[in-house]
Structures are given as structure tokens and as C-alpha cells.
Amino acid sequence: MSQIHCLSLTQVRDLLRTRELSARECTAACLDRIARTDPTLDALLHVAGDEILREAGLLDTAGPDPSRPLWGVPITVKDVLATKGMPTTCGSRILENFVPVYDAHCVAKLREAGAIILGKANMDEFAMGSSTENSAFKTTKNPWNTSHVPGGSSGGSAASVAAGQCFASIGTDTGGSIRQPASFCGIVGLKPTYGRVSRRGLVAYGSSLDQAGPMTRTVRDAAEVLQVIAGHDPKDSTSVNVPVPDYVGVLGQRESLAGLRLGLPEEYWGKGLTPEVEQACRTAVDLAAGLGAEIVPVSLPHTEYAIATYYILAMAEASSNLARFDGVRYGRRSPHVQDLASMYTKSRSEGFGEEVMRRIMLGTYVLSAGYYDAYYKKAAQVRRLIRQDYLRALEKCDLICGPASPTTAFAIGQNTADPLQMYLTDIFTISLNLSGLPGLSLPVGLGRDSNLPVGLQLFGGSMDEVRMLQVAATLEAALPQLPAPPLP
């Protein structure tokens, strides 16, 4: 079985379950695929060694366990999620040698479900970035065109899934970091409702915005992974204690979209959108209409304030969250230390990259006396207005729909000189995190000019991942399948 990497997670899981494929063969195939593609892509920061072949061998000896839905399935995890005994760097020099003593809640759930953790995916340092160019270690390349970025911050995860190195990856989304790289790499990315998946063990960037979720090659695969990682965690006080519905069982029940009201926010379908993205997304919306969906115009009037609001709040939270990196308990300590104060400043300044320093400083500024009300409180007030926009729009429709990004994947180096220009690329993903609502990016085709993937987003009401997945699966089945990226 030489083409294992072309299968979906669901397909490979079924082969593992019927023993047509052993867990060891499957893991070895992924390690082989990584060895062949990662020297070009740089998607992974750490690849597990022989120990996972032994782990897979033990699974084979015990035999398939139908109660474990990801039995034997190799998965990668963004390097911002703690993995017991496996390095977790957050793409930062300051955590270069950090090895967690516990698993993030979602990683523990994956292991319980039988998944094999292959390795850790590259990312923008502390998830601060939209291109993976801010990783302290290397820049991940887009599998569709290696002179372009894979998006970010979960760019390593997206490239790894698109290249067939694994069958799913767990990314995190603070301002679009699952959905934008998913769209750039032609895969499915799902940001669950804030609170749906525990944040324990997710190294915090913007605590009120961060959410982990699946990145996969099909909608069904995303449902399978969400089924495993969703649920209440008593150790995360923002994890919501509501039952987890059956995400997988409801798929395929909806061939028509009759009765579905799909809302198109006017702010997402005009200025700034490149013609090729608009065309691919419009084609998918027309397809939805052809399947019976009613297309409804809606408005998210505060969209133009979302980037400013987001960056004030995220930077404020980051400056506070990243205060824990002080060279005392874990992480890098500067060798040039004279006293306690210089230990803090030198360890942090030598350990953090440029973008992280910039965000910490901006966060410190907006939280400082005299500026707090003008920036932080003001942004928190506008945040409420943005959430109200979504709730009002969702009174007129069942799902909101718009492009994931104004452009397809941009070239490496194109947006690095001007940080503000890079922030502005997040326009279509960022406001969702402010609202806390769930969103999914679905590949809808290749741009006619760039020949790079285009993603369409669906936004749902709070905890309405079921409907989002159902509709995405129906659209996916009706759309032409994307070819495989041009890799060896």
C-alpha cells in the first residue's frame, strides 16, 4: 500500500480497524512521507523517533479497539500544545529545551482515542503571525508552491496535513490561525466555539480568544477529531459544561440544502477581495443556492473595527500571559546574568523574537496607567458591538458565509517589512474570535490566477458546529475535488 498518504483519516482508520493495514505500517508510511517531504516544506519542528513505531507495534499486538475512534491514526500537533515527554517550543528560542511534564487536555484525549502523536508542527512564535515566517527556527513552505507561505500561525499543521505527512493536525486559532492556513493549503480547518475544547496545556497567547481545533483533509475527518477533543475539562474554568453532540453521525444526512438560510455579509464580499478569490467563493455560494440554500444579505457593520479591536485585546493579554517567561522555572536563562533584574530582562530579550517583543510592548503600553481606558476598555466595548453584529445577523440566517482571506497564499517575504500590513491580512478571520463563535474553512477550488487554494468560511451560532459540519460536508461532496498538491 504505497499511497497511504493519499487516504483520508476516516479511510485509514477503517483499514486499521479491519487489520488491512497495521498501525506500525501506517506510522512507518507517515515517517517515510515526512522524510521525503519535510526537507522541502519544513512543516515540523520535532518528529518522534522509533518510540512511536514501538507504540504502534504494541497497538497491533493488542489488536484494534473499536471503542477508540482514532486507533492507530498518526496525527501531528501544533507546537503550542503541551506534549508529555516531547519538546514543546511554541516556535520560540525561549522554550527551545522545554519538555512538558503533562499533556494538553486535547492531546490526552487524542491518545485515549488511540491516536499516535507523530510530531510537533511549526508555527509563528507563540502563535503571533499569519505566515509562519515568525518561527524562530524555520519558515514553513506552502505544499502548493514552495515560494509561498502556508499561512499562520498554524502553518506547519496545515502544510503537514496538505502534504500527507499525517491524517490530521491540531491547530489553534486566536485570530484565524486555523482557518487562514487551512485556506492557504487547501484543507479543512475548524475553530470550535470558545469553550468547546479545553485550553489546558495550550500555551496562552490571548486567553479570551485562543481555541484549539482540527485541521484535516475532509469535513468528515474534522468531525471525527472534534468528537474526540470536544468536551468539558474541570481544569479549564472557561471550558463550557454542555453535552457534546454526535458530530459524525449527522454527516451525510443532508444532500439538499433546502431550508438553509446562508447569510452573506456585505462587508466580506466587496472591497479588498482579489477577483480570483471572489470568483471561487461565489461559485461555491452559487452551488449552495443550486442545492436549495436561500442566500440572504446580512451585515456585520463593525467589521472595519475588528483588526484594531483584536490587536489591542490580544496584545494586552499576550503581555500579561508572556510575563511567565522569566528564566526561573523553565525555558531559557541568559548566560549574561548579574542580578535578578538582569536575569529577567536578558533572558526575555535574548529568548523572544522581534514580533513577540513588539506585541508585548504594545500590550504593556495599552494596559499602562493613563492609556487603559482609551485602548483596552474601549476595545472591550467594541468587542461587544462586534459580537452583537454576529448575533443579529444570525437572526436572519442559519450560517454566515464569506471568504477566509482576501488573497490566496502570498509569497514568502511579501509582508514581513511592515507589521501593520501583515495584521491587515487577517481581516476576514479575526472578528470571529472576538465573538467566540465557531467557524470552518472549506477548500472550494484553486484561484484562476495563482493556482493556489481558496477557502470559504462558514460561521455558526454558539455551539452550532453540527450544522456547520453538515453543510460543509454537503458542499464538499458537490464541489470538484482539489487535486493533490504538486509534491514528489
Mask for 192-221, x = binds other proteins (CB under 8 A): --xx------------x-------------
Tell me, yes or no, if 235 is annotated catalytic: no
* Residue of 92, 130, 131, 177 with catalytic role: 177
Q: Does 385 bind other proteins (CB under 8 A)?
A: yes
Specify whether the CB–CB gap between 216 and 167 falls below 8 A: yes
Q: Does 235 bind other proteins (CB under 8 A)?
A: yes
Residues binding other proteins: what is the number (CB under 8 A)?
72
Q: Does 269 bind other proteins (CB under 8 A)?
A: no
Q: Candidates 74, 206, 231, 331: give the one binding other proteins (CB under 8 A).
A: 331
Q: Candidates 309, 321, 441, 450: give the one binding other proteins (CB under 8 A).
A: 309
In order of 146, 247, 248, the CA distances from 257 in angstroms are 37, 18, 18
Amino acid symbol at 331: G
Q: Does 2 bind other proteins (CB under 8 A)?
A: no
User: With respect to other proteins, which residue has the nearer C-beta, 304 or 449?
Assistant: 304
Q: Candidates 226, 382, 399, 466: give the one binding other proteins (CB under 8 A).
A: 382
* Residue of 92, 130, 135, 153 with catalytic role: 153
Q: Does 380 bind other proteins (CB under 8 A)?
A: yes
User: With respect to other proteins, which residue has the nearer C-beta, 241 or 481?
Assistant: 241
Q: Does 379 bind other proteins (CB under 8 A)?
A: yes
Tell me, yes or no, if 191 is annotated catalytic: no
Mask for 358-377, x = binds other proteins (CB under 8 A): x-xxxxxxx-x------x-x
Mask for 414-453, x = binds other proteins (CB under 8 A): -----xx--x----------xxxx----------------
HSE toward the beta carbon, residue 460, CA cutoff 13 A? 21
Q: How far is the CB of 270 from other proteins (least distance, A)?
A: 19
Q: Does 340 bind other proteins (CB under 8 A)?
A: yes
Q: Does 271 bind other proteins (CB under 8 A)?
A: no
Q: How far is the CB of 428 from other proteins (least distance, A)?
A: 18
Q: Does 391 bind other proteins (CB under 8 A)?
A: no
User: With respect to other proteins, which residue has the nearer C-beta, 92 or 216?
Assistant: 92
Q: Does 352 bind other proteins (CB under 8 A)?
A: yes
User: With respect to other proteins, which residue has the nearer C-beta, 63 or 101?
Assistant: 101
User: With respect to other proteins, which residue has the nearer C-beta, 46 or 332?
Assistant: 332
Stretch that binds other proteins, among 15-23, 133-141, 267-275, 322-330 (CB under 8 A): 322-330
Q: Does 323 bind other proteins (CB under 8 A)?
A: yes
Tell me, yes or no, if 450 is annotated catalytic: no
Q: Does 308 bind other proteins (CB under 8 A)?
A: yes
Q: Does 383 bind other proteins (CB under 8 A)?
A: yes
Q: Does 324 bind other proteins (CB under 8 A)?
A: no
Instruction: Report the Cα–Cα distance between both ends of the chain, in Å, rounded.
Output: 17
Tell me which residues in 72-101 interact with other proteins (CB under 8 A).
97-99, 101
Question: Distance (Å, rounded) from C-alpha 322 to C-alpha 208?
Answer: 14
Q: Candidates 86, 312, 466, 472: give the one binding other proteins (CB under 8 A).
A: 312
Q: How far is the CB of 449 from other proteins (least distance, A)?
A: 29
User: Which residues, listed in sequence order, are joined to residue 265 by a DSSP beta bridge?
Assistant: 298
Active centre residues (catalytic) = 78, 153, 177
